[in-house]
Amino acid sequence: MRRPPSFVEDQVLTSDEAIEYLRISKPTFLKFVHQRKIKAIKIGNGWRVLKSELYRFLGGEGER
């Protein structure tokens, strides 16, 4: 599998940014996080996820 470009790996996204990037609903995003399909960390009241993790989740499909 191809690796994402290095600039992708360093970007930390909020849950809202991840939801927009993936084009999914908030409940679906939270379901994937709780099922550990998307690796994210809870900070305060929100979640943070690396853009490279979203790339991995999408199967390396590239930028959307």
Which of 45, 46, 43, 54 shows the shortest CA–CA distance to 20?
A: 54
- pTM higher than the cut 0.75: yes
- Residue-wise pLDDT tens digits, 4-63: 565 555 799 999 999 999 999 999 999 999 999 999 999 999 999 999 999 999 996 544
Q: Which CATH architecture has domain 6-57?
A: Orthogonal Bundle (1.10)
* CA 52/CA 45 separation, integer angstroms: 22
Residue 14 makes CB contacts below 8 A (sequence gap 6+) with: 46, 47, 48
